[in-house]
Amino acid sequence: MRNEQEMMDMILNYARNDERVRAVGMNGSRTNPNVPKDRFQDYDIVFLVTDMQSFIADPHWVDCFGSRIIMQMPENMSMFPPELGGNFSYLMLFADGNRIDLTLCPIEKKDDWHSGDRLSVVLLDKDHALSELPAPTDQDYWVKCPSAAFYADCCNEFWWVSTYVAKGLWRQEMTYAMDHLNLYVRPMLIKMLEWKVGIDTAFSLSTGKNGKYLQRHLSAQSWQTLLSTYPEGNVEGVWRALFATLDLFRATAQEVAERLNYAYPLDDDRNVTAYLNRVRHMAPGAGDK
């Protein structure tokens, strides 16, 4: 596997030798001083270029970076509408395990090539045309203290969508039930856990994408309970995971409410929990004619 120095030399040597590339920037985890380095970190690279269409017209120009396992060009796909505002990206996983996410940005956008991302650094500036950037920081990604209204909305969404999970389980619609647990209920639990960690740390850090650093800041018991909220692929397993989710959310949300002097919706909790218990013990199809 090529090491970091070899990868950076390769990327910058290409940029130096192609007159169309006028500057190179980088963002993402490799610029974040709080993220430990490992072999799976992407190289999030931006080439500021002239004549973008000449690159786009020749998709094989990226072959110079090495043999690939797979590549994706999101702005060239029908299933996913372009989201980069005129930029064009190549997501490349190489045979040696390295990955480069390379974005082409028109040189005309040189003043906003980083879109305000404070985890951005300039690696090369042939024309000395880019603005100087402050030292990279992940401060924009730190957990933020919720307002009382935001906290209330999180609780309401959690308890409301929990009823969808129960409905899907009663009908034995497993994909419906699990999707509502994983895609709607769980994010509210993760958000509440992040707020707890934020309070514990004076809202001075990031818990990472999908809460991937939560384990560092939760008690061993809370972490194990969180893991138990990921269900087995059967009805009873999802019921167990749902009630584990309720227990962890309740305990965490009550603590957050107490420490921020907010109101926890105890009536919603009691009413929905009672409803879920009734549905859990109701035979599928009972009462239907």
Q: What is the pLDDT of residue 33?
A: 86
Q: What is the pLDDT of residue 81?
A: 72
The whole-model pTM stands at 0.86
Domain spans, the chain: 4-138, 142-280
Whether 261 and 267 have beta carbons less than 8 Å apart is answered as no
Which SS3 state, helix, strand or coil, does residue 22 take? strand
Q: What is the pLDDT of residue 283?
A: 63
Q: What is the pLDDT of residue 108?
A: 94
Q: What is the pLDDT of residue 221?
A: 94
Q: What is the pLDDT of residue 268?
A: 98
Q: What is the pLDDT of residue 70?
A: 97
Q: Which of 153-159's residues contact partners 24+ apart within 8 Å by CB, and which partners?
A: 154/188, 154/191, 154/192, 154/253, 155/188, 155/253, 155/264, 155/265, 155/268, 156/265, 156/268, 157/184, 157/188, 158/185, 158/188, 158/189, 158/192, 158/249, 158/253, 159/265, 159/268, 159/269, 159/272
Q: What is the pLDDT of residue 289?
A: 38
Helices and strands, number each (H, E), in the chain:
8, 6
Q: What is the pLDDT of residue 115?
A: 87
Residues with pLDDT less than 70, the chain: 283, 285-289
Report the distance separating Cα 277 and Cα 280, nearest Å: 5
* Answer CATH for 142-280 from 3.30.70.1400, 3.40.50.11310, 3.90.1300.10, 1.20.120.330: 1.20.120.330
- 5: closest CA among 98, 108, 81, 67? 98
* Answer CATH for 4-138 from 3.30.70.20, 3.40.50.2000, 1.10.3720.10, 3.30.460.10: 3.30.460.10
DSSP code for 257: H
79 backbone φψ class: left, alpha, beta (φ>0; ψ -120 to 50): alpha
